Every structure is written in structure tokens, then in C-alpha cells.
Amino acid sequence: MARKTPTPPVPDARVSAEQLASLSHEFRTPLNGVLGMARLLEGTGLTAEQRAYVSALRDSGEHLLSLVNDVLDFAKLGADKIELHPATM
């Protein structure tokens, strides 16, 4: 007779979603610090080249923050913790 190999346990979707949400929060905190410092730098006497670098830093950071927020929303959806609020369009 052929032996069956044990099937590895499938993680609970809620646990995975909660871990993903926690990880997203861990990314957001330092990322917000970086964005805040970039905004402060923009208000100082920078050369045109330095201003372009800081602007690219801020734009990239804001895009990354948007992605992290999307992951956090997805994790909340998976953990049945997302809150929807009606909005006029």
C-alpha cells in the first residue's frame, strides 16, 4: 500500500490577515517619519537639484504609503474588520 504524506496545515485566513495588518502598521510608522522629514526639507533653502531629489523622495514615499494602505485595507477585509462609510460622488 502506498503511504500518504501528511498535508501541511493551512493557516487560518483571519490569522494571516491580522499578521498582514500588523506588518502594514510596522511599515507605516517609519514611512510617515520619512515623509515628514521630506516635507520639512522642502521648506529649507535647497538648491534646485536638491529640491528635485527631495520631491522625488516625497513622491516615492507617498506612493509606497498608498500601497501599504491598500495592503492594510485588504488585510482588514480578510479579517472582516473593514469599515465602509458612504460618500457622495
CATH of the domain at 60: 1.10.287.130
Q: How far is CA 42 from the centre of its chain?
A: 24
Residue 28 and residue 16: Cα distance in Å, rounded?
A: 18
* pLDDT tens for each residue of 31-85: 999 999 999 999 999 999 999 999 999 999 999 999 988 888 877 776 666 677 7
User: Hunting for cell 482588514 — which residue is that?
Assistant: 76
**Alpha helices for the chain (secondary structure H):** 13-42, 48-78
Write down the pTM of the prediction.
0.64
Q: How far is CA 68 from the centre of its chain?
A: 1
State the average pLDDT over residues 13-21. 67
Longest dimension (CA), the chain: 78
**Is 87 within the bounds of a domain?**
no
**Is 6 within the bounds of a domain?**
no
User: Hunting for cell 477585509 — which residue is that?
Assistant: 77
Do the Cβ atoms of 63 and 1 come closer than 8 Å? no
Domain hosting residue 72, numbered range: 14-78
pLDDT value of residue 14: 58
**Is 44 within the bounds of a domain?**
yes
**Is 32 within the bounds of a domain?**
yes
Number of structural domains, the chain? 1
**Is 89 within the bounds of a domain?**
no
